[in-house]
A and B are shown apart, each in its own frame.
Chain A
């Protein structure tokens, strides 16, 4: 009897959570992303503009250096 009640409660809770998630998804959102609005297009055009490769190199540089350090450290061995 007890396991059956617990299973029913669990199923009820799952149903409730699914309904709440559906309600939240269908409710009018106070804000939304705009992947294709004018602002988004302008930002993307700037992102891929003349400075793209320079900025990409700038953003990647610290990670390239850390990668090089790791490649060097990878060879560390200790002979007792």
Chain B
């Protein structure tokens, strides 16, 4: 039996999950709730210039999250062209959740704890908010990991012919 290339769909899901998770952070916490901005602990947005300065850095942050989503779509498209990639919903959704969790944990540890460029909810209880953010990300990583594990034996969709090694999907471009 052939090896299945799970990495292709896992990396696509993690890239998409981290990018979309970054958008949730940027849209919900930066813009709608306005709890923090990208560099709000370095240059607090207390006047219009500082606000616009932070908006510029928020824009760059969104550019990076957009790039993650674009790369994820490209990886997913490439995975869809291969016959040895198990087209598993559990694996993909698990990777999406794990990717979002990975973003929260990495961003929470680096930006909030190590560099301190911003905090989730500055002011009283700042540390609790920051740690809660990381804990939420860790839970997402755990949940996503469990879902990925549950889908480890998933193969091609029901009715599809199991591919041989190196074979291209029938709908792949020549």
Contacts and interface: CB of A to CB of B under 8 A. Distances in A.
Contacts of B75: 70, 74
B52 A40 contact: yes
B29 to A, nearest CB: 15
Interface string A9-32: 000000000000000000000000
Contacts of A44: 56
B4 A55 contact: no
A42 B49 contact: yes
Nearest to B17: A66
B106 interface: yes
B60 interface: yes
| A interface, over-half SS | helix
A8 to B, nearest CB: 41
Interface of B is mostly: helix
B106 A66 contact: yes
Interface string A47-72: 10000000110111111011101110
Given A44-B56, A59-B38, A67-B15, 10 more contacts: A43-B53, A43-B55, A47-B57, A62-B106, A63-B18, A70-B14, A70-B75, A78-B3, A78-B6, A78-B152
19 contacts: A39-B48, A43-B49, A43-B55, A47-B57, A55-B57, A58-B115, A58-B117, A61-B110, A62-B106, A66-B99, A66-B106, A67-B15, A73-B14, A74-B11, A76-B6, A77-B3, A77-B5, A79-B3, A80-B1
